[in-house]
Amino acid sequence: MAASNRNNTTEKHDRPSLDGRWASGHRPEQAEKDAEKWTTGKVKRGDSLGRILKRERFEKDARDALLKALKPHMDFKSIRAGQTYRLRWENGALLGFEYHFSKLKKLVVRRNAKGKLVAKTVSAKTEVETKRIGGRIDSSLYNALKAQGEDGSIASDFVDVFAYDLNFYVDSQKGDVFKMIVEKEFINGKFLRYGRILAAEYDYSGGTARAFYFRPDGKKSGGYYDASGRSVSRTLLKTPLKYARISSRFDRHRMHPILHRVRAHLGTDFAAPKGTPVWAAADGKIVFRGRRHGGGNVVILRHKGGLHTLYMHLSTFRKGQRVGQMVESKTVIGYVGSTGLATGPHLHFSVKKNGRYVDPQKIKMKRGPGVPPKYRGQFDALVARWSVKLAEVKVARNAR
């Protein structure tokens, strides 16, 4: 038979080539029965496009014809495991091919009136809505958002906004109130993903934190600021992990749990499950990335102002990074582990200032640049508008 649905089994000798010729055997009567059929497949780990077409059992000249049509529109190295493709057959000849990069983008190949394969990129149209979300924490921010029917990924985005001021594992408590105004993107009426958090508020025992996203007219990028126009970004993040419990603090006279002797603990330990992503605590350059004695797998970053940050006991490093590379704050640089002298999975985080270890929890943080004076009018108008909207957000009760 010709191309078949993935739910059916396809015999090897039944697969036609792109020009309609059968790879082996001759079954034209079956082609008529299977007209207008699609074959759907998924990219496997280690696949190349050539390997995919070979797996679909096309002859070499047929594969080359399709690859030639795709080449001007596709970087063949861009394919990733989990992406999907479709092949459409009509009367034994390939009528169409689609490669789906994501829900929003696909590459479509069709035969034109002359029978030539022609490719083009198609981007799906989406609709963006502004959503107000508010709630009260019973156990965690994640659970409070899930209880309202929201996707859990927005919890991470909310934590990101306040990452310089709050450690949600330590600072959040039952009864805390959160509010946000966020963009939600839809495709064909179905939720696709969250966009930018435009305004956020977190009311907790330590006070009320607010942040507003502002991008001046004509600028390509923006940032988060408090209501007075001060940047929410600071010298270092409150914690280099989204959710972490401090298991050991800076102590020059601590008893080492493995060596059983007094040994200075020149950093802060954050207990977290193995594999938890570790962030760069500030913009900086990777100056060391490798194995270092009791520290196990270690990354060291150099920052402005004579600061260095050290991240120890990592299970693995982030792929694609290298010594000498610049990374931005909140960039994942590795994953929590227990390599080196460690009793369990955790991150040992140290800070050096001008060559000397300092307590990360006691560093006096400097804020990033605030809103430039020439844009204060735009910013103040934005804050006034979003402040009213935040005040109107209803604090939903979590489902029991």
* Residue 82 identity: G
Average pLDDT of the chain to the nearest whole number: 82
CA distances from 314 to 246, 267, 277, 292, 358 (A): 16, 15, 10, 11, 21
| Residue pair 117/93 in contact by the 8 Å Cβ criterion | no
User: What's the rounded Cα separation, in Å, for the pair 168 and 160?
Assistant: 10
Q: Could you tell me which of 349, 343, 345, 380 has the C-alpha nearest to residue 363? A: 349
Distance of CA 225 to the CA centre of its chain: 23
- Superfamily grouping for domain 245-362: Glucose Permease (Domain IIA) (2.70.70.10)
For the chain, percent of residues with pLDDT exceeding 70: 83
Q: Where in the chain is CATH 3.10.450.350? A: 12-123, 127-233+370-392
Q: What is the mean pLDDT of residues 168-196?
A: 90
Query: 30: pLDDT confidence band, cut at 50, 70 and 90?
Result: very low
Q: Could you tell me which of 212, 225, 203, 208 has the C-alpha nearest to residue 135? A: 203
Q: What is the mean pLDDT of residues 266-275?
A: 88
Class of domain 127-233+370-392: alpha beta
| CATH classification for the domain delimited by 12-123, as one of 3.10.450.350, 3.30.230.10, 3.40.50.720, 3.40.640.10 | 3.10.450.350
Question: What pLDDT is attached to residue 163?
Answer: 87
Q: What is the pLDDT of residues 225-266, one digit of tens each?
A: 999 999 999 888 888 887 666 656 545 545 445 545 545 667
Block residue for tokens 């966009």: 195
Q: Where in the chain is CATH 2.70.70.10? A: 245-362
The verdict on pTM exceeding 0.75 is: no
